[in-house]
Chain A
Amino acid sequence: MAQTVRLSRPATLDSLPELIGFILDEARAGGFPPERLSGLELAAEEALVNVASYAYPAGPGMVSVECRSEGGMFRLDIRDQGQPFDPTRAHAPDLSQDVEERGVGGLGVFFIKRFMDQVSYRREDQSNILSLEARLASP
């Protein structure tokens, strides 16, 4: 039977290594394709950095990650109780600018969408919940 595992930590950059390590361990245990693990790691980092940077402007808060491998999919839910923010509606970055004009705003969400098979957001119980899903079998 599929099992859901969960880890909560303060939403700071200091928590990133532990949270990402936890996610990758669960993904490996669930049979995640090794060659796509760095893409999952990237998507998870970008999502968690967004929470650490923007969710709690007024002070520290928590972020939790929840992993589940079921029905051929690996699912990662990232939950915070910060201000409402739907990253799936962020603007796409302009990838054609040169060095002077170029910023990197928007690239994180772009990477999340690019490396995961499904990305969805919902606001529920005063929480932001970002769900990232990836197929366990390589296409």
Chain B
Amino acid sequence: MELSAKKDQGVVVMSVKGRMDAVTAPEFEKGFDPYISGGDRKFVADLAGLEYISSAGLRSILSTAKKIKAVNGQIVFASLSGMVKEVFDISGFGSMFEIYPTVNEAVAKL
């Protein structure tokens, strides 16, 4: 899994590439930590480059979301496709989180 972050209008856009499986998923949560402790509160997870996710990936997303919520921050998701979208939908994550078709729309809503 590859993570890359950029800031857009005060929003941290974290782009995730590759796979979030039992081996790689903890990297997701670690990637957000410096931004949360640095005071950032608005996040978009851009999942356009994410090809695969398992329950370990969902666990990492959930624990990241709980951390962000605990500091009154917000995380939304953008650009889900293929099996990632399907896994979000059937697990209930698709209705638990705000999901937008594009990063631009997600940033505009925060």
Whether a CB of chain B sits under 8 angstroms from the CB of A7 is no
Bound state CA distance, A93 and B93, in angstroms? 12
A residues in contact with B66, CB < 8 Å: 99-100
B23 and A16: CB pair below 8 A? yes
Return the contact of B92 from the options A16, A46, A96, A111 (Cβ within 8 A): A96
Whether a CB of chain A sits under 8 angstroms from the CB of B30 is no
Interface size on B, residues (CB 8 A): 22
Whether a CB of chain B sits under 8 angstroms from the CB of A39 is yes
Whether a CB of chain B sits under 8 angstroms from the CB of A104 is yes
Whether a CB of chain A sits under 8 angstroms from the CB of B36 is no
Whether a CB of chain B sits under 8 angstroms from the CB of A107 is yes
A107 and B21: CB pair below 8 A? no
A99 and B65: CB pair below 8 A? yes
Whether a CB of chain A sits under 8 angstroms from the CB of B102 is no
A interface with B by C-beta (< 8 Å): 13-14, 16-17, 38-39, 41-42, 45-46, 49, 52, 93, 95-100, 102-104, 107-108, 110-111, 114
User: Which residues 36-92 of B sit at the A interface, judged by CB distance below 8 A?
Assistant: 51-52, 54-56, 58-59, 62, 65-66, 69, 82-83, 87, 90-92
Taking A93-B91, A100-B66 as given, write out 19 further A-B residue pairs in contact, using a Cβ cutoff of 8 Å, ordered by the A residue number. Answer: A13-B22, A13-B23, A38-B83, A41-B52, A42-B87, A45-B56, A49-B22, A52-B22, A95-B91, A100-B69, A103-B62, A104-B55, A104-B58, A104-B59, A104-B62, A108-B55, A110-B90, A111-B54, A111-B87
